[in-house]
Amino acid sequence: MKMKKSLLISMLVFVIVLAGCASGNKNGDNSPGSASPSASSPVESSSTPEATPSPAIAEPVSIIAYAFPADKTEENATLNAKIKRFEDKNPNVTITPKYWKYENTEIAIKMASNSAQTEFTTWATEANLLSGKKWIIDLTENLANWPYAKDLNEFALAPFVIEGKTYGIPIDAYGMTITINKKLFEQKGVPLPPLDWTWDELIEAAKAVNDPAKGIAGFIPMGKGTEAGWNWTNFLYAAGGEVQTVADGKVTATFNSESGLKALQFYKDLKDANVIPKNWALGYGDALTLFNQGRGAMVMCGSGNALDGAINQGGINKDDVLLYPIPSMTKGGKHTGVAGGNYKVINGLATKEQQKAAFDFVVDEYFTDAYLDSIDAQITSQKAKNQVYVPQLINYWNDSSDYGKKYEEILAKHDNVYQYSPDLSKLMESKPEATYETQAYYGEMANAIQKVFTSKGDLDLQKILDDTAAKLQKSSFDKVKIE
């Protein structure tokens, strides 16, 4: 009897699961759209004409804006004021600020649950991934109708222009730099290297300032996670190499070239010179923390980011940190580093109306005085907290434009603004990241780098690179479909 009953219950449960599974699958395809009551998936709305309302009638639209963490009161107040100004101009639009900071490990979950903001901020590295997955929309049409589109800084815009389509609006951009803890150099009586330094000069400087007994490393390359590959790519670029080539609709790995070999040899030299931390397992945050703790003399990061953290979080005096370009391979060579930046993108799962409203909201105050005023207010509030405002090297506007000059005037008004060396910008050259399967490339390169950082004795670096390239070619690059 008991047996029979449990069998009956099991069958009942099985039927329920099967039923759930079947309906789940159906819902699975549509769930992102149906998650919000006002939304149907964009695919549906474009295919059913009656779902698209006439543009003449301003239907009420609700969107979610990208807010800051609760403790960033100044930034949130600025955002709320901006929302209010926009809502006054567009009474049919309701904007709710919501906090979620973009993380590449969380975006998939946010998209699966359709809980990312209608407009959010992301990084240059994400352009291909997000657009490839259609998680962000093509903004080319929106930009065509926006009078200021032509005034956007082309260099900053570049990473989000893919196959002629624009997927993001730049907020700011940077090239990779090396941040130096000047104090550690002074403590050891080591002269600072020249700004137009070379790889050899970096190693020499690292050796001189290195102090393993105290746990101080000369140079902190990131070695854990995809950021390891990202860091190394700077040297690949400085050596004149490329990650991949695209020809006849086919992506081919080229980072195992002679330039790649030189860049990997440089990492091997760093390891052999014993100037990097023994703990190679340093992600982005780990490396910057180590630098902020004064346990490394040099770290590689997006222009002012390491510097900002070192001054405003790490408590290092602003006169004790310096920015250097990525060193050139040989004297007089190019100081090429990877370009990056922050971008505004529009959620691909929102309705067409929401996407339009979100775009209008994002660009509403671009090239206006209100935007500059908000920066002015931010600098003032940072001064009150004894913090330093670290401007980005590249902004969404062109520095030579009138708008750029107005911005410079605001910076000049304050004494808590970090001043970049004018020579730095002249030396720096920034190059966008690889277009296809960049994260997979970074991930595979991380393994190769770890091999170099943890192996003793001689290594066949060319073989390591060739193996990595072959594996990546087969598992990722060969599967890329170029439209």
Applying CB under 8 A, among 192, 208, 242, 283 the residue interacting with other proteins is 283
Structure tokens at 462: 């060319």
Name residues contacting other proteins, limited to 27-56 (CB under 8 A). Answer: 28-29, 32, 41-43
**Residue 395 or 476: which CB sits closer to other proteins?**
476
* 460 contacts: CB under 8 Å, gap ≥ 6: none
SS3 22: helix
Name residues contacting other proteins, limited to 295-324 (CB under 8 A). Answer: none
Is position 281 an interface residue for other proteins (rule: CB under 8 A)? yes
Mark 217-236 with x for binding to other proteins (rule: CB under 8 A) and - for no binding. ------xxxx----------
Name residues contacting other proteins, limited to 420-459 (CB under 8 A). Answer: 439-440, 443, 446-448, 450-451, 453-455
C-beta separation of 222 from 300 below 8 A: yes
Cα separation of 40 and 349, whole Å?
A: 9
Is position 2 an interface residue for other proteins (rule: CB under 8 A)? yes
Cα separation of 165 and 172, whole Å?
A: 19
Cα separation of 226 and 233, whole Å?
A: 11
**Residue 6 or 401: which CB sits closer to other proteins?**
6
Is position 404 an interface residue for other proteins (rule: CB under 8 A)? no
SS3 415: coil
Helix 402-413 to helix 369-384 angle (10° resolution) is 20
Residue type, 466: D
The candidate with the shortest Cα–Cα distance to 467, out of 253, 150, 226, 199, is 253
**Residue 153 or 438: which CB sits closer to other proteins?**
438
Name residues contacting other proteins, limited to 124-143 (CB under 8 A). Answer: 129, 133-135
C-beta separation of 329 from 262 below 8 A: yes
What's phi and psi for 389, nearest 5 deg? -85, 120
The candidate with the shortest Cα–Cα distance to 193, out of 331, 294, 318, 291, is 331
Name residues contacting other proteins, limited to 84-123 (CB under 8 A). Answer: 104-106, 108-109, 111-112, 114
Alpha carbon 353 to chain centroid distance? 27
Is position 11 an interface residue for other proteins (rule: CB under 8 A)? no
DSSP code at position 150: G
Applying CB under 8 A, among 17, 51, 370, 482 the residue interacting with other proteins is 17
Is position 480 an interface residue for other proteins (rule: CB under 8 A)? no
**Residue 330 or 454: which CB sits closer to other proteins?**
454
Closest approach, Cβ 158 to other proteins, in A, equals: 24
Mark 148-177 with x for binding to other proteins (rule: CB under 8 A) and - for no binding. ------------------------------
Cα separation of 164 and 149, whole Å?
A: 15
Closest approach, Cβ 78 to other proteins, in A, equals: 31
Alpha helices by DSSP H, 36-72? 42-47
C-beta separation of 55 from 347 below 8 A: no
By rule CB under 8 A, what count of residues binds other proteins?
Answer: 60
**Using CB under 8 A as the criterion, which residues of the chain lie in contact with other proteins when the complex forms?**
1-2, 5, 9, 13, 16-18, 20-21, 24-25, 28-29, 32, 41-43, 104-106, 108-109, 111-112, 114, 129, 133-135, 212-215, 223-226, 277-281, 283, 286, 348-349, 439-440, 443, 446-448, 450-451, 453-455, 471, 475
